[in-house]
């Protein structure tokens, strides 16, 4: 190109030709003119450089030589088609094509083709340049972008970039996954319209504006719901940064979001189950604890504090301090002893103890615990429960007292039935005493006075009779006294012999003979003597009553003792009418009675007494008629 040429000067055709050539050769793009048949007419210097052909080799040749397959074979048909239909695929449009160099290599090129106006037949000009470098740069850029995208996609968080208007400029795979859309369905859409619930849209847009304006709060961690394609709400924890343009203005936001729906749900579930545990523990008065040894670091559940009445803020106590501050003085040593033994030996704890709360009230507490090995070899963890069993204990105690009262009532009732005989039994010695004393007075008043030897004998008799009456009263009192159950080591034979004092008067007034047929020796048993006497007297009474209802039956009650297996068996045998089957059915039911003045408690309580002694009470027919009631008591080991 002649840069000094005067553009206003007129040019000759030769000049025009030279100028055009210079112009064409100065062009950076390859310029190729072809005729209507596709033959190359012009091939400029840039084209020579591009394709590696000198123009002389290509002028007049078909342009297909510059194309790789499949363009090469398709071109002719294309040109024919264009000329017939005027339908362009490239002319006036420009496109990216593949070009073929002289050495056969192919390179990407940008091709713009135009029809030369007024040319007949038609001629076409193509401008072509090598876009390899641009392609490479674009590819590198794309690779870079893909790599970034893959980073974004690999990230297990949702990444969304929004422009200042709130349109999505980028979203990663995780984001798509969470929202249930494809990337294409989201990019360039309005985030708020697409992914935020209508009720929340305005607030969310306001937050975007605030963040863009630099409101720090809007950039803090926030939790917000998104709406998925399916319409489900998901809770997302967001972290947001601003994107700046070259001028440093905030042009958008990059938000990273984590789907915390599940996490929050499980947190809430955990919280709820913790709440449930706390309220369950409160209802059950059940706490638990953990103590690390040897450093004695302790952890108590809320309920432990509630049970012992300690402020939770005051924190847990080591076992020894706990014992010192809260244990009932009577239980403290035992607690500490059991505790230490549990730690040192068994690894198991089953402790029942009383605590005194700071308000002075006493609670009964049951602790079950076990030791587990700690993280380091010598360390231990004791985990266990603290259960306030005061109410249960009270109920048990009430039940026990009720049972005791009932037992006592039954005893009094039995004694009431025996009252006539016992009154008689006390009246006899009193009568003897009164008579002896009055006789002595008369003897002393008689002329000559009484014989001292005789008088002395009378006084001995009086003493014996007074003691006799006293003995009956003593036994009576011991029997009817309301007292706590007490286990003693007993010789059943002795007990039955002693019982005679109480049982025989009753038998006598009812004209019944009481006979004892005791084994020469019986092993000792552990039992409450009064309760066993109660059972025996009840059975003897029943036998006597049975006889009163069976006139003509032999009026004898026999008490026997024997050793059966490992047990001591006691039988009370009568020869009365026996027990009708319909009565036998209800015999041991409380308040069932066939007696006019009976309470119906006797046998029911007798059976529960024997059961409490780990024995059995039952009955069987006496051979030859009547009933034999029998009960067993287990003998003492070594008894």
Partner 1 sequence: MKEKPATVFVVDDDDAVRTSLRLLLKSVGLPVETFSSAQEFLDSFDAERAGCLVLDIRMPGMSGLELQQRLNEIHAIVPIVFITGHGDVPMAVEAMQHGAVDFIQKPFRDQDLIDRINQALEKDRDNRAGLKERDTIRRRMQQLTPREREVLDLVTQGKANKVIAGDLNVSQRTVEIHRARVMEKMGASSLAHLVRMVIEAERAS
CB of 467 vs partner 1, minimal distance in Å: 11
CB of 497 vs partner 1, minimal distance in Å: 19
- Per-residue buried b or exposed e for 274-303, using 16+ beta carbons within 10 Å of the residue's own CB: eeeeeeebeeebbbbbbbebeeeebebbeb
CB of 430 vs partner 1, minimal distance in Å: 5
Tell the burial category of 40 from Cβ atoms under 10 Å away from its Cβ (0-12, 13-18, 19+): buried
Nearer to partner 1 by Cβ, of 436 and 588: the residue is 436
Alpha carbons 431 and 434: distance in angstroms, whole number: 5
Separation of first and last alpha carbons in the chain: 138
Alpha carbons 639 and 631: distance in angstroms, whole number: 18
Nearer to partner 1 by Cβ, of 380 and 458: the residue is 458
CB-CB contact of 587 with 579 (8 Å): yes
CB atoms under 10 Å from CB of 464, counted, come to: 13
Nearer to partner 1 by Cβ, of 15 and 438: the residue is 438
Nearer to partner 1 by Cβ, of 71 and 436: the residue is 436
CB of 334 vs partner 1, minimal distance in Å: 54
CB of 508 vs partner 1, minimal distance in Å: 6
Nearer to partner 1 by Cβ, of 112 and 458: the residue is 458
CB of 490 vs partner 1, minimal distance in Å: 29
Residues in contact with partner 1 by CB under 8 A are: 420, 423-424, 427-436, 438-440, 442-443, 446, 458, 461, 464-465, 468, 508-509, 511, 513
Nearer to partner 1 by Cβ, of 407 and 413: the residue is 413
Alpha carbons 190 and 165: distance in angstroms, whole number: 8
Nearer to partner 1 by Cβ, of 201 and 468: the residue is 468
CB of 510 vs partner 1, minimal distance in Å: 10
3-state secondary structure of 146: helix
Residue 88 to residues 78, 115, 118, 358, 588, Cα–Cα distance (Å): 9, 11, 18, 101, 116
Nearer to partner 1 by Cβ, of 380 and 443: the residue is 443
Please give the helix or strand (H or E) that residue 630 lies within, else none. strand 627-634
CB of 471 vs partner 1, minimal distance in Å: 13
Q: Residue 631: which of 501, 499, 530, 533 has the closest Cα?
A: 533
- Residues, the chain, total? 639
Alpha carbons 599 and 469: distance in angstroms, whole number: 29
């Amino acid at each position: 190109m002649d840069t000094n040429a005067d553009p206003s000067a007129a040019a000759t055709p030769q000049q025009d030709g030279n100028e055009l050539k210079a112009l064409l050769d100065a062009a950076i793009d390859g310029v190729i003119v072809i005729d209507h048949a596709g033959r190359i007419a012009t091939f400029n210097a840039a084209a020579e450089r591009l394709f590696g052909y000198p123009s002389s080799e290509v002028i007049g040749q078909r342009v297909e030589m510059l194309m790789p397959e499949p363009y090469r074979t398709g071109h002719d048909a294309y040109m024919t088609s264009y000329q017939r239909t005027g339908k362009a695929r490239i002319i006036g449009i420009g496109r990216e094509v593949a070009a073929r160099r002289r050495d056969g290599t192919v390179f990407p090129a940008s091709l713009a083709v135009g029809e030369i106006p007024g040319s007949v037949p038609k001629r076409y000009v193509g401008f072509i340049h090598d876009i390899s470098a641009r392609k490479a740069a674009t590819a590198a850029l794309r690779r870079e972008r893909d790599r970034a995208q893959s980073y974004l996609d690999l990230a297990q968080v949702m990444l969304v970039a929004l422009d200042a208007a709130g349109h999505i400029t980028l979203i990663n795979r995780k984001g798509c996954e969470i929202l249930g859309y494809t990337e294409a369905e989201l990019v360039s859409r309005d985030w708020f319209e697409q992914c935020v619930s209508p009720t929340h849209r305005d607030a969310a847009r306001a937050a975007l504006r605030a963040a863009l304006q630099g409101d720090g709060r809007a950039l803090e961690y926030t939790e917000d719901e998104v709406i998925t394609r399916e319409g489900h709400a998901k809770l997302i924890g967001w972290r947001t940064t601003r994107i700046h343009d070259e001028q440093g203005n905030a042009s958008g936001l990059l938000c990273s979001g984590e789907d915390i729906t599940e996490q929050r749900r499980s947190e809430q579930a955990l919280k709820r189950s913790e709440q449930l545990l706390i309220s369950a523990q409160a209802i059950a008065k059940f706490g638990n604890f953990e103590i690390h040894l040897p450093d004695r670091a302790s952890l108590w559940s809320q309920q432990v504090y509630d049970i012992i009445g300690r402020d939770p803020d005051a924190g847990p106590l080591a076992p020894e301090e706990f014992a010192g501050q809260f244990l009932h003085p009577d239980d403290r040593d035992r607690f500490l002893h059991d505790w230490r033994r549990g730690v040192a030996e068994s690894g198991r704890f089953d402790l029942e103890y009383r605590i005194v709360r700071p308000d002075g009230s006493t609670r009964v507490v049951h602790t079950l615990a076990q030791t587990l090995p700690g993280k380091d070899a010598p360390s231990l963890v004791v985990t266990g429960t603290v259960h306030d069993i005061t109410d249960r204990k009270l109920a048990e105690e009430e039940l026990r007292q009720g049972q005791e009262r009932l037992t006592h009532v039954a005893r009094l009732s039995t004694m009431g039935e025996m009252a006539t005989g016992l009154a008689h039994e006390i009246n006899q010695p009193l009568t003897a005493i009164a008579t002896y004393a009055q006789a002595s007075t008369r003897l002393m008043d008689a002329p000559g006075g009484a014989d001292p030897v005789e008088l002395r004998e009378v006084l001995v008799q009086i003493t014996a009779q007074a003691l006799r009456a006293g003995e009956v009263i003593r036994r009576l009192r011991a029997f009817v006294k309301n007292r706590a159950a007490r286990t003693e080591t007993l010789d059943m034979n002795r007990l039955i012999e002693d019982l005679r004092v109480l049982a025989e008067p009753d038998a006598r007034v009812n004209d019944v003979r009481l006979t004892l047929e005791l084994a020469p020796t019986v092993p000792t048993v552990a039992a409450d003597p009064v309760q066993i006497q109660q059972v025996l007297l009840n059975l003897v009474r029943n036998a006597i009553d049975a006889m009163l209802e069976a006139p003509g039956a032999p009026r004898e009650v026999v008490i026997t003792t024997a050793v059966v297996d490992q047990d001591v068996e006691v039988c009370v045998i009568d020869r009365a009418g026996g027990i009708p089957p319909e009565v036998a059915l209800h015999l041991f039911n409380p308040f069932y009675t066939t007696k006019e003045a009976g309470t119906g408690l006797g046998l029911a309580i007798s059976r529960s007494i024997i059961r409490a002694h780990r024995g059995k009470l039952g009955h069987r027919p006496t051979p030859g008629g009547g009933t034999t009631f029998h009960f067993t008591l287990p003998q003492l080991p070594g008894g």
